[in-house]
Homo-oligomer: A and B are copies of this chain.
Amino acid sequence: MQYNAFGQNATPYSIGNTYKIHSKILKEDRSYILELPSSYKTSKAKYPILVLLDGEISYHSHSGILKQMTEGRQIPEMIIVAITNVDRVRDYTPTNYLTNLNGSSAVDNHKTSGGSAEFLKFMEEELLPKIEKTYRTSAFKTLVGISHGGLLVGSAFLSKETSFNAFVSMDPSFWWDNQYLIKQLENTDLNQIKDKRIYVSTADKFENFDRIPHVFTTNINSQENFNTTLKNKGFSPNQVAFEYFKEENHWTVALISLYQGMQFIYKGLKMKNAQESTLEEIITYYKTYYNGEFLPPENEINAIGYYHLKNDIKKALPFFKLNVSNYPTSSNAFDSLGEVYMGSGDKEKALKNYKESLRLNPKNANAKKIIEQLSAKKNN
């Protein structure tokens, strides 16, 4: 893709690495592109995993959007794993079905279809265990795909064995095999899926569907059918979002779907009215959010601590204590706690926390300065 016109002066701009893994289940070598979060190297935290399908197409734009959303604090830092394709029709479809969406024969292009169960097994039993063994990961996992990839996201959502918690399915091929997936959904026990969260987007423009409106309608209908069936089963409306994009087509809908979908998946990670809540209310809230997969976010708790610090140091202290307890490798959490003890005149505890902060981050100039001041005073 990249044409290097004057090589002597050019340094490649890299946004991750491609890795290989041999799959015994799929009996082939597979590749994935992986990028660790910015803070990975300097922290000891565990990170959620996000798996992207159609990696060779999606990775560049999707990882860029996710990175910028992370920096804007719309979503937490994640380890991104983008699986590249060998045979997407085979891997992403649940049945061997030899007909195109427009009704024409697909004997050739759907020949290998029907391998999604094997592909899901590959992800659960080979790929994810390797990622979890190699990196510091939390248990929370998101799966993102478009079109046939969106169909696979739907299959994963209904799978008993899935370890994914959140699903972004963009303009998915739910029409596949007379809406096979919706029949599967009808036969799925609500308890098995009720704690998951799923976002489904639909594109309204049909330019890419042979410009044939009724073909296009078949696709949209299947998506609406999925949504209705899910709600009729008693699935919580708070756990599913179904978004309709009037101005997007099957290809352009990905960018806006990812942006909206990820905000939906992480809706509530920043607790509403947290500043007015007690510490107990906040702790209880995060115990129920995704079944306690996420600790109260460090930066939010820190901000609330400083908010209370202006009026009531006693009220503020437990928030800073919570952060050092939840994030025992965060230099900043200890720095903040040190600052509170300084303010309350407890120089011994202040010194102890600043020392721990400096130990965790030897570049913390503020901690260094205060430790020197406190030590100097002690010696006087």
Q: Which residues of B contact A4 (CB under 8 A)?
A: 17
Contact with B along A124-159 (1 / 0, CB 8 A): 000000000011000000000000000000000000
Question: Does A309 lie at the interface of the complex (its beta carbon under 8 Å from any beta carbon of B)?
Answer: no
Report how many copies the assembly holds.
2
Q: Which residues of B contact A162 (CB under 8 A)?
A: none
Secondary structure class of chain A's binding surface, majority of residues: mixed
8 Å CB interface, A71-94 against B: 71-72, 74
**What's the nearest-Cβ distance from chain B to residue A254, in Å?**
7
Contact B254 A35 (CB under 8 A): no
**What's the nearest-Cβ distance from chain B to residue A293, in Å?**
23
Contact A252 B14 (CB under 8 A): no
> Which of these, B3, B11, B62, B69, contacts A40 with CB under 8 Å?
B3
**What's the nearest-Cβ distance from chain B to residue A53, in Å?**
15
Q: Which residues of B contact A17 (CB under 8 A)?
A: 2, 4, 10-13
Q: Which residues of B contact A16 (CB under 8 A)?
A: 2, 12-13
**What's the nearest-Cβ distance from chain B to residue A28, in Å?**
16
Question: Does A18 lie at the interface of the complex (its beta carbon under 8 Å from any beta carbon of B)?
Answer: yes
A38-B18 Cα distance, complex, nearest whole Å: 20
Contact B63 A1 (CB under 8 A): no
**What's the nearest-Cβ distance from chain B to residue A364, in Å?**
21
Q: A18-B10, A64-B64 given as contacts; is B249 within 8 A of A36 (CB)?
A: no
Determine the residue in chain B with the shortest Cβ distance to A41. Answer: B3
Q: Which residues of B contact A69 (CB under 8 A)?
A: 252, 255
Question: Does A320 lie at the interface of the complex (its beta carbon under 8 Å from any beta carbon of B)?
Answer: no
8 Å CB interface, A247-265 against B: 249, 251-252, 254-256, 259
Determine the residue in chain B with the shortest Cβ distance to A135. Answer: B5
Q: Which residues of B contact A259 (CB under 8 A)?
A: 255-256
Q: A2-B14, A2-B36, A38-B1 given as contacts; is B72 within 8 A of A61 (CB)?
A: no
For this complex, 13 residue pairs linking A to B, each with C-beta atoms less than 8 Å apart, are: A2-B35, A5-B36, A10-B18, A10-B19, A12-B14, A12-B17, A13-B18, A14-B14, A60-B63, A60-B68, A61-B61, A64-B64, A68-B255
5 new A-B contacts, CB < 8 A, other than A12-B14, A61-B61, are: A2-B35, A12-B16, A65-B255, A255-B259, A256-B259
